[in-house]
Amino acid sequence: MNIKVRLAIMNFLQFFIWGAWLISIGRYLGANLGFTGAQIGAVFSTLGIASLFMPALFGIVADKWISAQRVLGFCHLAGAAALMWASTVKDPTVFFWVMLVNSMFYMPTIALNNTVSYIILEQRGYQVVDAFPPIRTLGTVGFIVAMWIVDLTGWKDTNVQLIFSAVSSCILGVYALTLPNCPPAGSKKSSNWVTALGLNAFVLFKDRKMLFFFLFAMFLGGALQISNAFGGSFLGSFSGSYPDSFVVKHEILTLSISQISESLFILAIPFFLHRFGIKKVMLISIFAWVLRFGLFGIGDPDTGLIFLILSMIIYGMAFDFFNVSGSLFVEKEAPTAIRASAQGLFMFMTNGVGAMIGGYASGLVVDHFTNTEMVNGTSMRVTDWSSAWFCFAGYALFLGIIFPLLFKYKHVPDNKARISH
């Protein structure tokens, strides 16, 4: 089989595993297991906690001692076991710890997946910049396909989504072990622990511009977790008012419009970065988050359906213009000697600290707007979702106001340059 096809399958499965539960787990935990908003937010914070240190640790293992594809395979097999265990847990505290174990093994695989792809492509003589992006696109496709399967089968309401993800993770774990060898560099790299863990990139904080960039990257990383944690629960909350609505019956499929939008907006990034610069692109992203949350606040599956759809479409701009553009900005601004560490710092601030704060804080906000009410003689937790989304929109708006005041950056338009992505 062509090696590009094999790598495309790997990337497809890599994000298929995540898409099988990331968007739908909030509804299962809230509606079926009765978790509070804070408890659901805590589950999503495990992604951030794990991202603080696990990618760096497994990166060291792959760099120095064990072939990258074997580390990737081991992580997915261990993650499969944790997901299978999670499918049997109903206690919020135990579920948190089990999902933390899963996150500790899954989050490193995102970087390992890229590392394996890069090494194998280079071994076969391909130009990575040209060959990898189409392969990586299959990852987004895999995420979307998993969402659709979980929605259309009805697994979004049950623990089967976790079992489905576990089986997929097991398949990829075995598959990764069959890939061409990606040997560690071993003793060819001599570095201290500070360099190995990427901590030398913190020197960038001495630059006021980079300090504020990373701080706002952290706050925007928190915004992403809000959508992941509560988007499905929000759309599912309309089941009493609009039980026959397609949006209510297939809220996960509806939310997949966000991922489709994401795959399209990435194509616009080179133009916007060269024409407007990172400061304006980040501002566009921040105000896209304002619209993302605000439109959710006024939308509904009936007369407000257009607002829900627009929110899904805008998500692509909100996510890509921050995540992908931010990574490219770091690549450009960081000294050559610490570029890899700087990328690790960007992930640490967004997927680590930002995700952890966003997971906990958003859960507390949802709990604040949730009350116990009697519905048809049954005590139920009812959330004022409009108020919650407007609160999140206000948070993003505040960032949009202070960002241009604190982040000082002068852009020189370059209409001829091209950025590969």
CB atoms within 10 A of CB 303: 8
Q: What is the pLDDT of residue 200?
A: 66
Average confidence score pLDDT of the chain: 85
For the chain, which residues make up each domain, given as ranges? 1-179, 197-421
Task: Report, as ranges of residue numbers, the positions in the chain whose pLDDT lies below 50.
Answer: 187-190, 415-421
pLDDT one-digit tens code per residue, 168-210: 999 999 999 999 998 886 644 445 556 655 566 678 888 888 8
CATH number of 1-179: 1.20.1250.20
Q: Is the pTM of this model over 0.85?
A: no
Q: What is the pLDDT of residue 340?
A: 56
Contact at 8 Å (CB) between 259 and 311? no
SS3 readout for 328-395? HHHHHHCCHHHHHHHHHHHHHHHHHHHHHHHHHHHHHHHHHCEEEEEECCEEEEEECHHHHHHHHHHH
Residue 329's nearest CA partner among 280, 288, 285, 277 is 277
Class of the domain covering 197-421:
mainly alpha
pLDDT one-digit tens code per residue, 206-224: 888 889 988 998 898 888 8
Instruction: Say yes or no: do domains 1-179 and 197-421 share a fold.
Output: yes
